[in-house]
């Protein structure tokens, strides 16, 4: 609890500094921002708090460097990032060396953005966050005893995988990685014009830190959290096997989220409470959507139509997950005893996808587009909510179809982070747009120069019923 309060304090300082920066110029407050951290270092040297404070400092600074990189196209970001990689390595080896690593700053220069540089702009912060999370995750414990998928002597490939998903799946990685992203997300919130989008982004920010981190890991109710409907934020396998003792939380989550997705669209998961939108919608990272159109693989996912391979991958993923769920249930009632390296099949599935495959998709955004989890059909939790969202009233509507007809820029299609490029034709013909792939991010609403697009969901249905 104390550690999370320390993180919360750092985030508050982060928000204050970013707000001040808007008034005082471009990212000139690094030193001011570092003072409370470095002061804390003197108080907590060579302790867990020291490592956590230094990790947060490095991660937030990486966020500021990333923001300048994305907005000014300033390649010194990479130089700063290399310095922070040294900080992270120092924390893993000998923490006091981390302080010296901060001084490694070199001159900046300009460049033209391309997919390779974009890849490294994601890779460096990821590596920094991963390395910084190692000493915190395994603080004063033997890593072998803490691996989430277990340890198999002699099976180096599996042990490396288990080590990776243990660190990436830890709350500490979520905190450190989220600290870098918080700078980008807060900047996005501050610069968003549409009130509805600003509110959704704020909910997304709160959901990441409270729903995905605080409640399951640090709150007094953390031990009971898996039994609460809507708590299994990754679906089957999030907190354990498909066992009767967990049915209330597991089945309740699927029932509640189906109802919410039907009422408000899959945006309630894919654009708010899932950790993915927090990681994908901050300033700069959200701009990776240009590779939905520029990258060869990204172009294959354009338009609202579901490609044949999307249907194949989605069907196979669900078939495997349901088979694993059945095996997991039979294991829990002692009819079978089938495991994957000693792990429950559903837990292995959720851990492998959400703590490994998803991050490969994230890092690969410059090569096959943004929101690969939505476009490729590989996320069963996403397709489940998209299905019920498609059945419900959720859609995009326009106030005046004539404006869409005369529009020459088609900014709505260019802004869509999942690559839906054919919404304009639907607006012109029907005055509305509805698609399985639409997850209600709202970038099209923000981009429309005529303020012509809005969301239609259960709230509009209720209003129309009242009018009648």
Q: Where are the beta strands (DSSP E) in 354-419?
A: 395-398
Give the pLDDT band (50/70/90) at residue 277: very high
Same domain, 243 and 182: no
Among the candidates 191, 216, 239, a domain finishes at: 191
- Range name among 12-26, 239-253, 317-331 with the lowest pLDDT average: 12-26
The DSSP secondary-structure symbol of 182 reads: H
Give the residue-averaged pLDDT of 363-381. 90
The pLDDT > 70 percentage for the chain reads 81
Half-sphere exposure of 59 toward its Cβ, with a 13 Å CA cutoff? 29
Q: What pTM was computed for the model? A: 0.87
**Under the phi-then-psi rule, with left for phi > 0, alpha for psi from -120 to 50, and beta for the rest, what region is 442?**
left
**Distance (Å, whole) CA 237 – CA 312:** 22
Domain range holding 444?
A: 390-467
Residue 61 vs residues 8, 106, 181, 182: alpha-carbon distances, Å: 16, 15, 11, 11
Among the candidates 175, 191, 207, a domain finishes at: 191
Same domain, 117 and 248: no
Same domain, 369 and 405: no
DSSP result, 216-265: IIISTTTTTGGGSTT--TTSTTSSS-S-GGGHHHHHHHHHHHHHHHHHH-
pLDDT attached to residue 125: 85
pLDDT attached to residue 56: 80
The pLDDT > 90 percentage for the chain reads 54
19 vs 319, more confident: 319
Per 3-state DSSP, the chain is made up of helix, strand and coil in percentages (nearest 5) of 70, 5, 30
Torsion from C-alpha of 25, 30, 36, 42, nearest 10 degrees: -160
Same domain, 117 and 157: yes
Give the residue-averaged pLDDT of 215-225. 92
Residues 413 and 420 sit within 8 Å (Cβ to Cβ): yes
Residues 283 and 190 sit within 8 Å (Cβ to Cβ): no
Residues 41 and 54 sit within 8 Å (Cβ to Cβ): yes
Same domain, 290 and 211: yes
Q: Which helix (H) or strand (E) holds 432?
A: strand 432-433
CATH number for the domain including 414? 3.30.70
Same domain, 395 and 376: no
Q: Does residue 186 carry a pLDDT above 50?
A: yes
pLDDT tens per residue across span 63-90: 877 887 777 665 555 555 555 565 555 5
- The number of folded domains in the chain is 3
pLDDT tens per residue across span 294-341: 888 888 888 898 888 899 999 999 999 999 999 999 999 999 999 998
Give the pLDDT band (50/70/90) at residue 259: very high
Same domain, 280 and 305: yes
pLDDT tens per residue across span 129-171: 888 888 888 887 778 888 888 888 888 899 999 999 999 999 9
Same domain, 113 and 44: yes
Same domain, 343 and 217: yes
pLDDT attached to residue 155: 86
Give 175: exposed, middle or buried? Use CB within 10 Å, 0-12, 13-18, 19+: buried
Give 30: exposed, middle or buried? Use CB within 10 Å, 0-12, 13-18, 19+: middle
Same domain, 35 and 182: yes
Among the candidates 354, 389, 424, a domain finishes at: 389
Same domain, 186 and 289: no
pLDDT attached to residue 260: 97
């Amino acid at each position: 609890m104390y550690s999370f309060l320390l993180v919360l304090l750092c985030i508050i300082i982060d928000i204050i500094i970013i707000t001040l920066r808007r008034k005082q110029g471009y990212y000139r407050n690094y030193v001011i921002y570092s003072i409370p951290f470095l002061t804390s270092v003197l108080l907590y040297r060579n302790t867990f708090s020291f490592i956590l404070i230094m990790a947060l400092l490095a991660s937030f600074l990486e966020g500021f460097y990333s923001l300048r990189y994305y907005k000014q196209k300033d390649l010194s970001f990479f130089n700063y990032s290399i310095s922070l990689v040294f900080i992270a390595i120092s924390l893993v080896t000998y923490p006091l060396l981390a302080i010296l690593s901060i001084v490694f700053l070199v001159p900046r220069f300009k460049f033209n953005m391309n997919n390779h540089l974009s890849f490294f702009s994601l890779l460096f912060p990821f590596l920094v966050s991963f390395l910084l999370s190692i000493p915190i995750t395994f603080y004063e414990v033997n890593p072998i005893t803490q691996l989430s998928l277990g340890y198999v002597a002699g099976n180096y490939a599996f042990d490396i995988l288990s080590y990776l998903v243990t660190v990436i799946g830890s709350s500490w990685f979520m905190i450190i990685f989220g600290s870098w992203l918080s700078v980008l997300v807060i900047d996005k919130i501050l610069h968003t014009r549409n009130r509805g989008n600003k509110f959704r982004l704020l909910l997304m920010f709160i959901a990441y830190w409270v729903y995905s981190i605080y409640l399951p890991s640090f709150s007094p109710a953390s031990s009971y959290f898996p039994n609460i409907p809507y708590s299994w934020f990754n679906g089957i396998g999030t907190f354990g096997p498909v066992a009767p003792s967990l049915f209330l939380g597991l089945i309740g989550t699927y029932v509640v989220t189906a109802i919410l997705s039907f009422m408000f669209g899959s945006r309630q998961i894919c654009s708010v409470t899932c950790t993915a939108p927090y990681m994908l919608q901050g300033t700069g990272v959200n701009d990776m959507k240009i590779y939905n159109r520029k990258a060869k693989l990204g172009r294959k996912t354009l338009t609202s139509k579901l490609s044949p391979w999307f249907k194949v991958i989605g069907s196979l993923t669900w078939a495997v997950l349901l088979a694993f769920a059945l095996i997991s249930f039979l294991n829990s009632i002692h009819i079978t005893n089938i495991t994957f390296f000693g792990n429950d099949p559903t837990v292995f599935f959720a851990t492998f996808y959400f703590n490994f495959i998803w991050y490969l998709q994230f890092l690969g955004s410059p090569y096959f587009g943004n929101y690969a989890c939505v476009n490729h059909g590989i996320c069963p939790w996403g397709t489940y909510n998209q299905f019920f969202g498609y059945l419900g009233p959720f859609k995009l509507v326009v106030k005046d179809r004539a404006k869409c007809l005369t529009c020459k820029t088609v900014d709505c299609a260019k802004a869509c982070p999942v690559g839906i490029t054919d919404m304009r034709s639907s607006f012109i013909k029907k005055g509305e747009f509805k698609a399985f792939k639409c997850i209600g991010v709202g970038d099209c609403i923000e981009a429309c120069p005529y303020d012509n697009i809005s969301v239609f969901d259960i709230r509009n249905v209720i209003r129309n019923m009242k009018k009648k």
